[in-house]
Amino acid sequence: MFGTRPFDFKSLSDFSHLEKRVQLHLKKVYASLAMSMIAATAGAYARLFHSFFRTDFTFIFTFGLMIALMMTPHTPANVGKRMMMLLGFAFTTGMSLGRLIGMVAAISPDILPTALLGTAVVFVCFSLAALYTHKRTYLYFGGLIGTGMTVMLCLSLANIFMGSRLLYSAELYLGLAVMCGCVLYDTQLIVEKSRRGDDDFIWHCVDLFVDIVAIFRRLMIILAQKEDNKNRKRNN
């Protein structure tokens, strides 16, 4: 009637421009990512509800597992071992998030589901944007992302001495924008690496997992800050 095309839901799953080998590789990456998210959820749950897992040295295990994963070559014989390392890395990362989740939930229980939904929407939308494009446009984001991370580091270092709430908020929002760019960049980079024969789906999963965690962490803090400001205004 208005000359518009009806929306076709099948087009959302049309990745015919990607080679079959690349599509199979992406399935492995996202399947590993789903398992990692389950492991991270288990880690956060363990930190929140079991005192045995409440340690401040979780980062040591997380860092150690990442180094071990990097140093273990990607071979068919090592797939099972590296997958266990990946799940262990995700579990300890979830444990690290557990403390922040507990603090945020104490401010408002509604923040957690909102942050989860926001992270899912952001990740899905930016991932699809990277997968649907036929060009390598987002690979050129590497320079911008590097610059953004450098600025974030400078703001963080400056804020150690200044203790400015404004600088902290600027670093927080800039970090969120940079990590959204990372989803675009990393997704397209995974596709290009797969086309060139790099089939290390476990390490590619780590790239996306780190992006998701960074986005989720920042969304939680931003929402918690807004809720805290609301509570202060009500009390005043």
Q: DSSP labels for 107-118?
A: H-TTHHHHHHHH
Please list the pLDDT of the chain residue by residue as tens digits (236 residues): 344 445 454 555 556 677 888 899 999 999 999 999 999 999 999 988 877 666 777 888 899 999 999 999 999 999 999 999 999 999 999 999 988 998 898 888 899 999 999 999 999 999 998 888 777 777 878 888 888 889 888 988 888 888 788 888 888 999 999 999 999 999 999 999 998 989 999 999 999 999 999 999 999 999 998 887 787 777 76
Q: The domain containing residue 106 runs over which residues? A: 19-226
CA angle centred on 219, ends 111 and 122, rounded to 5°: 110
In a domain, 3, yes or no: no
Residue 11 is assigned to a structural domain of this protein: no
Whole-number Å distance between alpha carbons of 154 and 215: 20
The DSSP-derived string for 146-199 is HHHHHHHHHHHHHHHHH--HHHHHHHHHHHHHHHHHHHHHHHHHHHHHHHTT--
For position 168, what pLDDT does the model report? Answer: 85
235 lies in a domain?
A: no
Tokens at 171, concatenated: 């670093």
Residue 12 forms part of a structural domain: no
Q: How many domains does the chain have?
A: 1
Angstrom distance (rounded) from CA 35 to CA 73: 21
Whether 92 is in a domain gets the answer yes
- Report if residue 107 sits inside a domain: yes
pLDDT at 135: 75
pLDDT of residue 59: 82
Q: Is 4 a member of any domain?
A: no
Residue 183 domain flag: yes
pLDDT of residue 66: 93
